[in-house]
Chain A
Amino acid sequence: MGKYLLRRILQMIPVVLGTTLLIYALVFALPGDPVAAMFGDKPVNQAVAAQIRSEYNLDKPFIVQYVLFLKNALTLNFGNTFAGQPVISVIGRAFPVTIKLALMAFVFEGVFGVIFGIIGGLTKGKWSDNIILVLSLLLISVPTFVTGFILQYLFGVKWHLLPATAGANPGFIDLLMPAVVLGSVSMASIIRLTRTEITSNISEDYVRTARAKGMSNRSVIVRHVLRNSLIPVVTYLGADIGGLMGGAMITERIFNIQGVGNTLYQAILRGEGTLVVSIVTILVLIFVITSLLVDLLYAVLDPRIRYA
C-alpha cells in the first residue's frame, strides 16, 4: 500500500511538468499580441511596449520563459498579473469561492443522484421509476446555461425567493441556486448510472444466494447490491470533482461568481500565460489527487481489490 502510494505520487511529477509545458506552449501560440492588446485601439507606443514586455519576460524565447516560470514557481513566486497583482493572491481569491460552489454541487449531485437512482432501481417499471427517468433525461438534455437562466429569472428576478446573483463573498443561500444548476446534469447522470447498476446487480446470483440464506431484504440491498453498484458511481463522482472546479465557467458567468472558471477565461482572453498555467497546474493536481483517492476507495468498496 505504501509503495503503491509513493509510486502514484512520483507519477504526478511528469504529469504536472508535461501539462504545464503543454499549456504554456498553447497560450504562447495564441494569436494576438497581449501587450499590443493592452493599448486597445490606441496606437501602440513601441518604447512603452518594449518596457512592459521586458517586465513580464515576454521578449524572451518561449523555452526561456517557461524555464523562468518553473524556476519561480518552485519558490512559490508565480509573478504578477498584467494588472500588477500577485498571481498567488488572484488564485487565493478565486479558489475558495469555487471550492465552496463545487462542494455544494458535489454533495447535491451525490446525495440526490444516489437516492433517486436507488428509488428508480428498486421500483423498476413502476410510476416512480418512470417519473425519475423522464426528469433525469430532461436534465441531461438541457444545457446548463438554459437551466441557469430560467432558474435565475424565475427564482431571482420574478419571485425574489433567492438572490439573482451570488456576488461578493457568497454564502450558502447565495450559492444554493448556482450549485443546483451546476450539479444538475451530473446528478441526472448519477441517477441513470445508479439505477442501471442496481437493476442489473439485483438479479445476480450472489443476491439470490444471500436471500436464500435468509438475509433480510434491507441488508441484502445495503450490504450487497448497493456496495457493488456504487463502484462506477464513485469513479464518476471522482472524475467530476475536477470538472466542477474548472468547468463551472458558464454557471459562474450567469450568477456572477468570481471563481476559477471566470478567472481562467479572462486570463486566456488577455493572453496571461503565467496566470493560465498556474491555475491549470492546480486543477491538474486536483484531478490527479482525486483520481488517486478514487482508486483507494475501490479497495474499500470491493475487498477483492488490493494494492501492493
Chain B
Amino acid sequence: MKKSSQLTVVSAVICALALLASGCGSGGSSTDTEGAEQSSGDQASKNAVVSVHGCEPANPLIPSSAAESCGGQVVDAINSKLIRFDDQGKAHNDLASEIKGNDDMSQYKVTLADGRKFSDGTPITAKSFTRAWSWSANVSNGQLNASFFSNIKGFDDLQKQGVPTDAQFSGLKVIDDKTFTVDLISPSSTFPIQVGYTSFAPLPESFYKNPKAYGENPVSSGPYKFESWQHNVMIKLRRNDGYDGEVKVRNGGIDYKVYTDLGSAYSDVQAGNLDVIDRIPTSAVKTFMTDSMVQSYNKPGSTLQMFTIPTTMEHFGQDQEGHLRRLAISMAIDRKMLIDKVLGGLGVQPTDFTAPTIPGYTKDLKGSDNLRYNAKKAKEYWAKADAISKWPADKSFQLLYSSDGGAKDFYDGMANSIKNTLGIKAEASPVPTFSEFRGNIKKRLYNNVAFRSSWSPDYPSPESYLMSNFASSAADGNGSNDGDYKNSKFDALLKQAAKAKDTDEANRLFQQAEEILLQDMPAVPLYYGNNIGASAKKVHGMRLGWDGYPIFPELSKDQ
C-alpha cells in the first residue's frame, strides 16, 4: 500500500495565511482539464519536457525495492510489465500476448509479445521475468516487496536464512524464449492483474552484475528511459524511442523535481516554474479549484478511508450485540456533512469497500444503506444492543488517528456526530506520528479503541482491498487485517473468486463478499478520497490515473 504520512505541521499553520493571501489571487473560474486536453495538439510540442512534482526516492530504482511513491512512480514509468492498466484501471496485455490459466487458476502459461526490447538493446525473454522474480523474492537480496511473490511455488525455500542470492523459484519454468509457466501455491484468478504491479517488471541480464549500480542508473523496458538522477534535486526521464508498445507518448520526457515541501511545489506551479503537481498542500486545498493561476484537477480516486473497530473491543465483538453497535456507529456518522464542510467536497460518500476507480465497484450492494447517515435507525440499533448488554454511561467511544496526517478536523467532527446522534460519550484522540501509530497497531496495543485506517490498492481489483484488509489469512499480524476480523463465509467467497474463470465472475463474487462486510462492519468506510492535483496554464492533458499518479505519457505543453 502506498500511503504516505504527509507532514502538514508547517503547512497547517500556514493555512490561515494562504486563505488570506489567495483572496488576491482567486476569482477566476476553475478550468476543465479534459476540455484543455482535447484542444491540445497544435501548439503543444511533441518534444517538450514536462516537469512534475517529485520527492527523493527512499530506495534504489529497482522494481522490487519501490515501496513508496517517490521512487515508485519513476520505476513504474520506465518499466513495462506483462500487462498495463488504462485510465479506467482496466488491464490490457503489454509485454505479454497471452496469460492463460488452467482450470482452477493455479497454473498460468505466459506467452510474450514479439519484438520487445530493453533500452540496452537486449531482447525481453521469458528468463528476463523468471530470473527477476526469483531475485526479488530471495530473502538474501533484502527486497521490501518480496512478499508480492509469496503465492508462487517455492517462495518458502527462498525465505530460508543463507539461501544463495541467485537461487531460482521452483514454481517458475522457462519453456522457450517466449514462454514460461507459473505454479501458484493457492489458485488466484487475479494473478493476471497482479502482474501489472511494478515489482513484476522484467530485468535485463546486466542487472545481476551490479544491482546497486543498476539502482542508480536503471535500464528501461517502458515508454520512458532513464537519463539522470541528481540526488535531492531531480530525476530526468526521456522518451524511449526504441519502445515498441502501445502507449503513445506526447512529450519529450519527464523531469521529477524534488521538493522539500508540497507548499513550495504548489507556489512553483502558480509561478509557472513547475508544470504538474499530483497532490495539493493543505494550505491550498480550499482555494485551488478557483485559483486562476493554475488548472485544477479533482476526480474520485482509489483511496478508501475507514476506521477499524477491532474484534477485541468490548461490546463490539463479532456477535449480535457487536454487529448492532457497529451498524449504529456507522449510521450515526453524517458523512455528507463532514465531506462538504471539513473536506471541502474533495471526497465521495462510500457505497462499498473498494473505490469508484476500481473495476468491480458498485453502488447497488445489499446493505449499502448501512453506510448512510440515519439517526433514527442508529438509535434503534444501539438500544437493541443495550438490551443485550448495557453500554456503561460513563464509557467513551474512542477514535484514534495520527495527528501528522491532517485528519484532526474530520475525526473531531465524526466524534461529535456519534455523540449527538447516539447520546453517548465519544472522543477523537491524536497519536503524534504516523510511524508510532502504525507501530502500535502492528503490536495490537489499540485493542479496545477504534482507529483510523486507509487503503490504496496495489492493483485495480476489489481483491486488493478485501484480501489485504479483511481475510483471515491477513489477520494476526500476517497482513493488514489490523482488526483481526475472521469470517469463514467471507473467506470462502474470496477463495471461490480466486478460482473464477474471468474478471466479471470474480467481481460478482467479490461483491457478494462485500455484502457480508456491510453487515459485519469490521471497519467503517468513511469516504473515497479524491485524486486532486494542478498543472500550469501551458500544460495539456493533465489527468490522474486509478493509482493517483499523473498519466505521464498524456502530458504535453506549449513551447
Residues of A near any B CB (own CB < 8 A): 31-34, 36-45, 47-48, 51-52, 55, 82-85, 89-90, 93-94, 145-146, 149-150, 152-153, 156-158, 160, 163-165, 167-169, 250, 252-258, 262-263, 266, 269-271
Contact = CB atoms under 8 A, between A and B. Distances in A.
Interface string B476-491: 0111100000000000
Nearest to B3: A41
B172 interface: no
Given A37-B438, A48-B139, A168-B233, A255 B264 contact: yes
Contacts of B233: 167-169, 258
B405 interface: no
Contacts of B24: 158
11 contacts: A38-B67, A39-B144, A42-B67, A44-B442, A48-B142, A48-B144, A83-B58, A83-B59, A153-B21, A157-B293, A165-B267
Contact of B14 (A39, A45, A145): A145
Contacts of B439: 31-33, 36-37
A64 B374 CA distance: 59
Contacts, number: 159
Contact of B144 (A38, A252, A266): A38
B58 A149 contact: no
Nearest to B55: A266
Given A41-B3, A168-B234, A270-B58, A156 B67 contact: no
Given A32-B433, A164-B271, A263-B232, 12 more contacts: A31-B436, A36-B439, A41-B455, A47-B159, A51-B139, A83-B59, A83-B60, A163-B273, A165-B265, A253-B264, A256-B260, A256-B264
B234 to A, nearest CB: 6
B146 A45 contact: yes
Interface in B1-52: 1-4, 7, 10, 13-14, 17-18, 21, 24-25
B268 A42 contact: no
A253 B261 CA distance: 5
Contacts of B92: none
Given A42-B147, A93-B232, A146 B159 contact: no
Given A43-B479, A153-B267, A51 B68 contact: no
Contacts of A52: 142
A43 B479 CA distance: 5
A181 to B, nearest CB: 13
Interface in B261-308: 261, 263-265, 267-268, 270-271, 273, 293
A278 to B, nearest CB: 16
Contacts of A90: 231
A83 B25 contact: no
Nearest to A51: B142
Given A168-B233, A253-B261, A256-B261, A150 B67 contact: no
B442 A156 contact: no
Contacts of B270: 157, 164
A164 B273 contact: yes
B259 interface: yes
Given A36-B439, A37-B438, A156-B267, A257 B1 contact: no
Contacts of A157: 25, 267, 270-271, 293
B257 interface: yes
Interface centre among A47, A55, A146, A250 (most CB of B within 10 A): A47
Contacts of A152: 264, 267
B260 A253 contact: yes
B333 interface: no
A152 B265 CA distance: 12
A149 B15 CA distance: 11
Contacts of A163: 273
A163 B273 CA distance: 9
B264 A32 contact: no
B435 A32 contact: yes
B99 interface: no
Nearest to A97: B232
